[in-house]
Amino acid sequence: MNIEHDLKIKIAEALYALYNITISPESIQLTETRKEFEGDFTLVVFPFIKESRLSPEETGKSIGEYISNNFNTLANFNVVKGFLNLGLSDGQWLEYFNEVGYLNKFILKVKGNDSIVKNVMVEYSSPNTNKPLHLGHVRNNLLGYSVAEILKEAGNSVKKANLINDRGIHICKSMLAWQRWGNGETPDSSGLKGDHLVGKYYVKFDKEYKKEIEELMKNGLNEDEAKKQAPVIIDAQEMLIKWEQGDSSVMELWKTMNGWVYEGFDATYKKLGVDFDKIYYESQTYLLGKAIVEEGLQKGIFYKKEDGSVWVDLTEDGLDEKLLLRGDGTSVYITQDLGTAALRFEEYPNLDQLIYVVGNEQEYHFKVLKLIFKKLGKPWWDGLYHLSYGMVNLPSGKMKSREGTVVDADELIEEMVNTSRDTTLALGKVEDFTMEQAEKLFYKLGMGALKYYILKVDAKKTMLFNPAESIDFNGNTGPFIQYTYARICSVIRKAEKLDGLKSFRQQSVLLDRPMMQKEKDILRHVFQFPNIVHGAATELSPSIVANYVYELAKLFNTFYHDCPIADAEKVNTSLFRLQLSNIAGQTIKECMRLMGIKVPEQM
């Protein structure tokens, strides 16, 4: 059954019968009626007043009267200026309720929508192997994972991809620093995770580099000259050339240190609860990028400068000249992106869209990448999409990897779990738990707080992350929603011990009274779930799901406080409210899953 579709059909009939307007039901836009007005669905009538030759109020009234006379499930309607609010009968809502309740034809899965692409690759994480993951990576990973899950829920075929940036000058900086000052230190000997150990030497390189720059400037060089002539950066550049030439000693060191980093990354990914279907490595794709650069040269799209470097001139397109290959033949960041993109469309010829989850400081880069492929005549160039997100700042300001002032992802996760432990113990919510059960709960709540706090903010916005604010059992937080789900589970467990209510899931409900507004509010909100998923998939925005599930949690808690749910003497009402609670709980659980958040059944 599809309440909204049936209503759209009647609206289309009304428009044709009253004003000779031909419109497909799919083109009619209905929204959920705002809380301050009576009704379930709202139609904006302004688009039809030209043909009706009536005022918005009169147009809405005539459409409402036609539907009321020809659609027996419409209980009432009202017009507020140019908005027609339509209220459905309890019988119509009860039919929907039984369909998604005891018949278990739940709102999930959501059917696909032709307006959404079908074959999608979402690239996220994309770390460098010269440092551990930090808070910025956390937002990237959580956003990318959630977008992929939402796209799948909306009916798309989705591949989650990770591009490991495992080569380049920044990698050589860590390698050179370890070679010079590491004294053979390893993750085992130091007790550090591999990614933390390598990151330590990235910071060490920067400190030594700055010392050399300062010394050269004392000897009369300006800052730009000093940066270029500092011995440590020259040595790092020479190491990169040796790497691209396949020097055995450099390659061996590179493989060893990257191996340490991969083990560290995998541990952090597991803690975050994110995964990938396909992992690419820049070291395996940059040569493909060089081949594309050569193709562009042959076609006259790219050009060489006297120093041998390769460029593309995009000034006529409102951009700039872009370096594609250095004069010494080494590749730059965009070189591997050219190769990797081409490889993906070759591996997946039916790919409709390649989504890059990358911070907004790279917006220019992706404009250039897309335009280059357009100039090269690649048929899939328009399938490249940059999901640009804002940076994560702290109360103390921006993070800087080279200076070692980042918020480490592992430390952040540990802090969130510890804060969750302290808060939960203070509230006395684990008195009946074993130690193992309590620790699992602390982890779920800590990660739920972290993920929800980040994902509830629109991805495009720069956000301020405050761990203390994220763990609150009463605000717009993950723990509040998790606690609501646990409350629903508790209500159901208690009801299943009562005679007549044990098998409530398998019983249809014939409600012998009018539906209360608080009951209908939950049902109406649940009904919107497919539209929410499609909206979030279209906008690539988990924040839409986050705001939706928060509203549902608030609706349920209001209902819970005002309406007794399980009463063995009022069987019909109890059956209805238990099934309604179960439906709300399953919707909450599914929304949280789409954000990578687990919900506890007991708190």
At residue 399, the pLDDT reads 41
At residue 240, the pLDDT reads 93
- With b meaning 16 or more CB within 10 Å and e meaning fewer, what string describes 557-570? eebbeeeebbeeee
At residue 396, the pLDDT reads 61
Mean pLDDT of the chain: 91
395-435 pLDDT per residue, tens: 664 444 444 456 889 999 999 999 999 988 888 878 889 99
- How far is residue 563 CA from its own chain's centroid? 35
- How far is residue 542 CA from its own chain's centroid? 5
- What confidence tier does 562 reach under pLDDT thresholds 50, 70, 90? very high
Q: Which string of DSSP letters, residue by residue, matches 236-277?
A: HHHHHHHHHHT-HHHHHHHHHHHHHHHHHHHHHHHHHT---S
Q: What domains are there in the chain, each with its CATH number?
A: 3-88 (3.30.1360.70), 124-393 (3.40.50.620), 415-594 (1.10.730.10)
Q: Which amino acid is at 333?
A: Y
C-alpha distances in Å from residue 177, one per residue of 119, 126, 328, 404, 571: 43, 23, 23, 15, 73
53-79 pLDDT per residue, tens: 999 999 999 999 999 999 888 999 999
**Stretch among 237-241, 461-465, 555-559 having the lowest mean pLDDT:** 461-465
- With b meaning 16 or more CB within 10 Å and e meaning fewer, what string describes 512-535? eeebeebbbbbbbbbbbbbbbbbb
Contact call for residues 138 and 109 (beta carbons, < 8 A):
no
Contact call for residues 199 and 317 (beta carbons, < 8 A):
no
pLDDT at residue 477 tops 50: yes
At residue 22, the pLDDT reads 94
- What confidence tier does 104 reach under pLDDT thresholds 50, 70, 90? low
At residue 398, the pLDDT reads 46
- What confidence tier does 102 reach under pLDDT thresholds 50, 70, 90? low
- Compute the distance between CA of residue 376 and CA of residue 301 in angstroms, rounded to an integer: 7
Q: Give the sheet arrangement for strand 41-44, strand by strand.
A: 30-32, 41-44, 83-88, 74-80
At residue 165, the pLDDT reads 93
Residue 418, phi then psi, degrees to nearest 5 = -65, -40
